[in-house]
Amino acid sequence: MQTTEKRVNRKGRSAFTLVELMVVVAIISILIGGVFKLLGAAGEKSKESVTVSRMEKLQNALSGYYAEFGSYPPVMQFECPDPDLQRKSADRTKFEPAEGQPWEKANRAAHSQSVVYEFPTVRGLDPFIDLVFKGTARSAGIAFAGSAIKSDSWYSVQVFKYGLLSYLLPRAHIAWGTEARYEDLFKSPQWTGRPSLPPEGIDYLINQQLEDENHTVARWLPNFEKIICGGSTVMGIDLAEKDTGVTFSSIYNPAAGGMPYVVQKMTIRDGWNNEFYYYSAAPYQSYRIWSSGKDGKTFPPWIPIDKVKPLYDQAATWIADDIVRFDH
């Protein structure tokens, strides 16, 4: 008697065999896998689009800065541009062998000209800082007891970090504001750029800078609407990237027995939540901004990768997905 491939249940309807069920499950799995792959590709494409969009807005601001001042932002080298070296935490005027994985050292060197803008917090944030850092770090104002920083070297005491955004955002509007601050910190040569205050005092200097920003930075500030990590509403523009809130940097403080101090910061990130990179050499007539891409790894563009064997093969892989914009 001939057998059939399908079993018949008690009501006479055909039932799936085990093989058929396995085929159906396999097909569904393939379809689900394809959907997730498409979603993943769409997600990566979205992150790339966010990155390119923010870079274009950053370029617009840089063009505005160049039109006003005749050069691109002259950002100093806060970190060592050599991947094999790093600044000592206790004495940042000196160097020591760099630590970390090769790509970590390369990323650090590529950040030698920082994007971030750092500045002391307002007095009202002190309780919040104590709560967040649980006594392991204090605000810059408390750490220095409200005294002016006498040294004019950022490498001696890092209170203000004038990265790229400190030239493109309204520095005084952000750092001075309307809330109570530790005023003595703003009397330091690091903020004023001069060895001593003019007879008119710090208020005169601040008000002068506020006026300058009102007719310079205001022109390109709308480019940064809703894309600044740690941003706030400044000069009527909401700079804040969604859900980032107030952001801080914790910095080693040799003047206070090693207790780190905290400053507020603003920065701009790519679609993968990594900070952008910036490079411009004197006389600052050209620049390069870039994202380290999906893998989060990059290499300093001023070092020919074919000159750094055996890192060449790795470095070539790191920069393969970088997204780069520049102006000559």
Higher pLDDT, 185 or 291: 291
Pairing of strands 117-119, 161-162: antiparallel
CA-to-CA dists, residue 154 to 76, 97, 118, 141, 276, angstroms: 10, 21, 12, 16, 22
pLDDT, position 2: 47
Query: CA-CA distance, 10 to 273, in Å (whole number)?
Result: 60
Query: CA-CA distance, 105 to 86, in Å (whole number)?
Result: 8
Q: What is the mean pLDDT of the chain?
A: 88
pLDDT, position 38: 63
**pTM, rounded to two decimals:** 0.84
Q: What average pLDDT does the segment 127-141 reach?
A: 91
Could you tell me the residue ranges of all domains in the chain? 43-327
> Does pLDDT of 26 surpass 80?
no
Q: What average pLDDT does the segment 36-57 reach?
A: 85
Which tens digit of pLDDT belongs to each residue from 108-125?
999 999 999 999 999 999
Read off the pLDDT band of 158 (50, 70, 90): confident
pLDDT, position 314: 86
> Does pLDDT of 35 surpass 70?
no
Compute CA 43 distance to the chain's CA centroid, rounded to the nearest angstrom. 21
> Does pLDDT of 328 surpass 70?
no
- 23-27, 34-38, 59-63, 185-189: which has the minimum mean pLDDT? 34-38
pLDDT, position 51: 97
Which tens digit of pLDDT belongs to each residue from 235-292?
999 999 998 889 999 888 766 566 889 999 999 999 999 999 999 999 999 999 999 9
What residues form DSSP beta bridges with 326?
288
Q: What average pLDDT does the segment 25-40 reach?
A: 72
What residues form DSSP beta bridges with 135?
none
Query: CA-CA distance, 186 to 193, in Å (whole number)?
Result: 11
pLDDT, position 30: 79
pLDDT, position 318: 93
Higher pLDDT, 9 or 50: 50
Q: What average pLDDT does the segment 292-310 reach?
A: 88
Higher pLDDT, 312 or 294: 294
Q: From the CB of residue 19, how many other CB atoms can be counted at a distance below 10 Å? A: 9
**Cβ distance 30 to 36 under 8 Å?**
no
Closest CA relative to residue 279, chosen from 228, 208, 327, 225: 327
% of the chain beyond a pLDDT of 90: 59
Read off the pLDDT band of 4 (50, 70, 90): very low
Q: What is the 3-state secondary structure (H, E, C) of the chain?
A: CCCCCCEECCCCCEECCHHHHHHHHHHHHHHHHHHHHHHHHHHHHHHHHHHHHHHHHHHHHHHHHHHHHCCCCCCCCCCCCCCCEEECCCCCCCEEECCCCHHHHHHHHHCCCCCCEEECCCHHHHHHHHHHHCCCCEEHHHHCCCCCCCCCCCCCCCCCEECHHHHHCCHHHHHCCCCCCCHHHHHCHHHHCCCCCCCCCHHHHHHHHHHHHHHCHHHHHHHHCCCEECCCEECCEECECCCCCCEEEEECCHHHCCCCEEEEEEECECCCCCECEEECCCCCCCEEEEECCCCCCCCCCCCCHHHCCCCHHHHHHHHHHCEEEEEC
CA torsion sign for 129, 133, 134, 136 is negative
> Does pLDDT of 21 surpass 90?
no
% of the chain beyond a pLDDT of 70: 89
Q: Which residue has the tokens 């003595």?
A: 184
pLDDT, position 1: 44
Closest CA relative to residue 299, chosen from 169, 168, 105, 136: 105
pLDDT, position 16: 63
Closest CA relative to residue 6, chosen from 15, 127, 112, 65: 15
